Structure 1
Amino acid sequence: MVVLSFVGLFLLVAFGIDVNAYKSYSQHQLWRLNVTTDEQVKGLTDLRRKAYEFNINFWSEDIRINIPVDVSIGPKSIRDLHEYLSLNKINYDVIMKDIGSMIDGQKLLHQFRPSNLIANDFAYDKYHPLDEIHSWIDTMVQTYPSLATSFIVGQSYENRTIKGLKISSNKQVMKRDGTPINKKKAVWWDGGIHSREWISPATNIYIAYSLLSNYGKDATITHFVDQFDYYILPVFNVDGYVYTWTKDRLWRKTRSKTSNPRCFGADPNRNWDYHWCEAGASRDPCDETYCGSKAFSEVETAQVAQFISDHGDTIVHYINFHSYSQYWMSPWGYTTTKPAQFKLQDDGSAVAVQALGAVFGTKYVHGSIATVVYVSSGSSADWTYGKVNITFSYGVELRDTGKYGFLLPEDQIIPSGQETLAGELALLRYIEEHVYEKDF
């Protein structure tokens, strides 16, 4: 018999929290659960809805048969979760025995490890807090004045600036046959929509720097900087990202107030006004996938959406970078039904994945969001495609596949940037052929 709740297994523990302290993950463990039956899926799905009450966090949003499910557990819940899994015949492996020591060790490495790639006083092989990233944007504008400008999307809930970098050359866009094109198309890439996914801002930053520093030196990069304008938002969820540096390394959501005074923020990738809060999203303010009180309730998603809409006549390619799992995905997320242009989109994913994998052998899976991972409504990629008609809209889950998860070490930043750049250049070639050379 499958046990579907923690009744009888857990006692709720009331404890005080120092709101000014950095959250400790000492003795927290990361387990990988091996799900083999529909009953186990149902039981874990029921558990997931209230897991936060027991200091349990599902790092994996997808719960399906034969798909690994990564779960972090506070020390007081380890024994009870083991008993629950044993009763339900769910096998598991311990991936990290002490998440806290992993976080602390990475902090020390960040402070004392010398950088191997510094330019303009910025270390590209290290993670950076928000103020350093915004200063980097200013430095790029100063260093490459003919190519780089900054742009402001708006202000966050906590009144932080949502700031991006635009890359654009003044060259006339030409078709391959030499025919001039009147209107240059644009690309949008963003990272850090989920604040704990530090590799996504770092990868965006590396790619942006590669485009700027290699313009006029590398023929392929020069070509694509001439062919497209680039709007790059390294950190989307600025409040949440600052919170991961100052209070809780594994915080995911925004930082807005909710109807529950104990719980803050919404999932900014469930808050978009396209099939908002249907399957794959929660109405519980304490849940990690809380969709918000309404579509675009979060000022960050509303302002990014407005900015993209204002430039929707030029933007033809969108990527929302995440971690982790190594997936390159296209719409739809809200349903497993494929859109009419799925083959066109997925063929682009295949091109990107092949080029990415050729660099270091990193394996990515591609397909639609709902079929590759899970059904998730109200996502950015669905909205950009469904509402703004950005055909080449994608959600990309970067490294790794679970060994480190959201705590990807800094020595993987440069490799992630190099292989993702290779994938993007191949995808841009594919998009160029369809946007400038063909009707679609």
Structure 2
Amino acid sequence: MDIFWALVALSCLSLGASLQKTNIYEGYKVYEVSTKARSADNGLFLSELAKNQTYYEVLPGFKGRTSARVMVHPEEQLNFVQLMAHRSVSYEVVNHNVGLTLSRQFEKNRMLRQSYPYNGRLGTERYYTHSEINQFIEDVAKENPRRAFIKTVGKSYEGRLLKTITITNGDSRRNKNVILVDGGFHAREWISPATVVYLINQLVYNLEENGDLLEDYDWVILPVVNPDGYEYTQISEDTRMWRKTRKPSSSECVGTDPNRNFDYHWRESGASDDPCSNTYAGSKPFSEPEALVVSDLIRTYSDRGQMYLTLHSYGPMILYPWGWIDEVPETVDDLDEVAKAGYEAILEATGTVYEYGPSTTTINYAAAGASDDYAFNEGFPISFTMELPPGGDDGFDPPASDIDRLVKESWVGISAMARRVVTKYPLA
């Protein structure tokens, strides 16, 4: 198994428990560790570290598959350095104080909220709250009553309204094909809802350029799947790295990974039955109201749906089924063709290299109970998880100054894939 992604699979266990025990990142350091030399041995070693949830979290590295990033508790740093020296593993410190970094980011975001209050439009100047995003799509629909329509499709555990916006070209034709998009499954992945917001702006306010994407297709978009978790990450620097939902999962732990909660090979692989784990699959399929809402949308549009796209971070990758097993569907050539269109468009436009391919073999770990597998099984012929590029010191926190670049680059790939779908699956 590829060592880099083996680390990622195991590291998912660590952060949730660490946050619930301490919620303090003052003095934590992030080390970038080379996995080139003696890679198999190093991988097993770092995998063991990842199991020590109190002191370590192993993250994807920024140098492709040749490195991993390890966040280390202050009390364990001397031991970690000695272990690296003993094993002759090269490393560098990429963040000397995670707590300080998160504090500065939190203050910066607070200042940006004051400098750029919501005014009816959402740009790329800062990250926006769930309530601001909901207000934005409401305002878009009011401003464009023939082209945009809002529907409340459910509530989160804490009672936040989950709303979709359906975007059309205004010709009032019924029963068009559908592209279904969602964002914000994992709370700390702020760039995901930001990308969805940019996508909405492009489809609504740039119709001249994107009219071909709406001629025979409607776009149904749920900007934030997990609003409770998303809002929790915005409370303070201590909660910024939260990943799961906020429904209590046991007497001691909170949250479920909503992208392990779908009723398709649920908990068969790559998911945990430990309520404190970051990949906890829930007490049963669709135990989380947020996952149930997405499943309802998928089934509602399965007869017309041609592409399901869920936006996550970080990669950069375009992944398609299967994620629960190391196999590919019979229609893998169709999936690969559309994914390649996104890969090539981004590479030509910006030079960023996305990996693309079947989920399990591309990232080298399984993840059963995910929404993309579920959507594909329910009838969407094209079903993708798009892992957006990393940012910040831990990958999940691109600074606000990077939003504009990242969302524009992502739209290049999304629109290219959508154009291939529109051509490949014309309206019957």
Using structure 2 for the length normalisation, give the TM-score. 0.86
279, 296, 307: which one pairs with 2:269? 279
Question: 1:378 aligned to 2:369?
Answer: yes
Distance in 2 between residues matched to 1:337 and 1:238, nearest whole Å: 33
Q: Does the CA-based 8 Å contact 1:34-1:90 persist in structure 2?
A: yes
Relative to structure 1, is the Cα distance of residues 291 and 224 closer, same or farther in structure 2, using a 3 angstrom cutoff? same
CA distance in 2, matches of 1:288, 1:397: 18
Corresponding residue for 1:255?
246
In the other structure, the counterpart of 2:40 is 38
Q: Secondary structure at the match of 1:397?
A: strand
Q: Report the Cα distance in structure 2 between the residues aligned to 1:320 and 1:241, rounded to whole angstroms.
A: 16
Equivalent position amino acid for 1:236 in 2: V
Greater RCO (Cα-Cα under 8 Å, separation 6 or more): 2
Q: Unaligned 5+ residue runs, structure 2?
A: 1-18
Contact 1:115 1:126 in 2 (8 A): no
Per-residue CA deviations over 1:112-151 (Å, capped at 9, x if unaligned) read: 4597999735343210111111111111112222111112
CA displacement at 1:310 relative to structure 2:
1.8
1:26 deviation in Å?
2.2
Distance 1:115 1:339, change over 3 A: farther
In 2, Cα distance between equivalents of 1:118 and 1:300: 26
**Are the structure 2 counterparts of residues 315 and 40 from structure 1 closer, same or farther at C-alpha, using a change threshold of 3 Å?**
same
Alignment counterpart, residue 321 of structure 1, candidates 307, 311, 315: 311
- The 1-side partners of 2:419 and 2:123 are apart by 29
Check conservation: 1:52, 1:286, Cα contact below 8 A: no
Shift of 1:370: 0.9
Contact 1:147 1:168 in 2 (8 A): yes
Equivalent residue, structure 1, for 2:417? 427
Contact kept, 8 Å, 2:20 with 2:253, in 1: the verdict is no
Cα shift readout 1:323-346 (whole Å, capped 9, x = no counterpart): 112111111111221111111101
Question: Which structure has the highest helix share of the two?
Answer: 2
Q: 2:389, 2:404 → 1: CA distance?
A: 12
8 A Cα contact 1:326 1:401, kept in partner:
no
Question: How far apart are residue 408 of structure 1 and its match?
Answer: 0.4
Q: 2:177 aligns with which of 182, 185, 199?
A: 185
Q: Does the Cα contact within 8 Å between 1:126 and 1:413 map onto a contact in 2?
A: yes
Tell me, yes or no, if the aligned pair for 1:381 and 1:395 is still in contact at 8 Å: yes
Q: Deviations over 1:353-390 (max 9, x none)?
A: 1112222222211111112212211111111112x121
CA, structure 1 residues 437+213, in 2 after alignment: closer, same or farther (shift >3 Å)?
Answer: closer
Q: What is aligned with 2:70?
A: 71
Of 319-328 and 156-165, deviating more is: 156-165
Alignment of 1:208-227 (within 5 A): 208-215=200-207, 218=208, 220-227=209-216
> After the TM superposition, which of the residue ranges 331-340 and 99-108 deviates more from structure 2?
99-108
Q: 2:217 aligns to what?
A: 228
1:161 equivalent in alignment to 2:151: no
Could you tell me which residue of structure 2 aligns to residue 196 of structure 1?
188
8 Å contact from structure 1 (residues 329, 396) kept in 2: yes
Instruction: Describe how 1:40-439 pairs up with structure 2 within 5 A.
Output: 40-49=42-51, 51-54=52-55, 56-60=56-60, 66-112=65-111, 120-171=120-171, 183-215=175-207, 218=208, 220-247=209-236, 248-259=239-250, 261-373=251-363, 374-386=365-377, 388-400=378-390, 405-436=395-426
* Equivalent pair of 2:318/2:356 in contact (CA under 8 Å): yes
Do the aligned partners of 1:115 and 1:123 also contact (CA within 8 Å) in 2? no
Is the CA contact 2:164–2:223 (under 8 Å) kept in the aligned structure 1?
Answer: yes
SS of the residue 1:406 aligns to: coil
Q: By how many angstroms is 1:393 displaced?
A: 0.3
Q: Give the RMSD, CA atoms, in angstroms.
A: 2.8
Q: Structure 1 residue 81: deviation in Å?
A: 2.9
CA distance in 2, matches of 1:325, 1:338: 20
Matched AA of 2:235: T
1:401 shift after superposition: 6.8
Contact 1:318–1:381 at 8 Å: present in 2 too? yes
Give the aligned residue type for 2:240. Answer: R
In the alignment, what sits opposite 1:14? none
Cα separation, 2, equivalents of 1:360 and 1:395: 20
The change in CA–CA distance for 1:183 and 1:18 in structure 2 (over 3 A counts) is: closer
CA distance in 1, matches of 2:356, 2:137: 31
Gaps of 5+ in 1: 1-16, 174-181
Larger CA deviation: 110-119 vs 222-231: 110-119
Q: C-alpha offsets along residues 246-285 of structure 1, whole Å, 9 cap, x if unaligned? A: 15000001111123x2221111111111111122211111
What amino acid maps onto 1:211 in structure 2? L
Instruction: Label 1:242 to 1:118 Cα distance change in 2 as closer, same or farther (>3 A).
Output: closer
Using the alignment, how far apart are the partners of 1:82 and 1:314 within structure 2?
55
Shift of 1:111: 3.8
- SS of alignment partner, residue 396 of structure 2: helix
Shift in CA distance, 403/362, structure 1 to aligned 2, threshold 3 Å: farther
Q: Aligned residues, how many?
A: 403
Structure 2 vs 1, CA of residues 71 and 221 (structure 1 numbering), >3 Å: closer, same or farther? same
Indicate the residue corresponding to 1:9 in structure 2.
none
**Separation in 2 of the partners of 1:402 and 1:347?**
32
Q: Distance in 2 between matches of 1:282 and 1:42?
A: 19
CA contact (8 A) 1:191 1:200 kept: yes
C-alpha deviation, 1:211, in angstroms: 1.0
What is the identity, as a one-letter code, of the residue corresponding to 1:189? V
Find the counterpart in structure 2 of residue 3 from structure 1. Answer: none
* C-alpha displacement of 1:89: 4.6
Closer/same/farther in 2, CA of residues 245 and 213 from structure 1, 3 Å limit: same
Secondary structure of 2:154's match?
strand
Farther-moved stretch of structure 1 (404-413 vs 319-328): 404-413
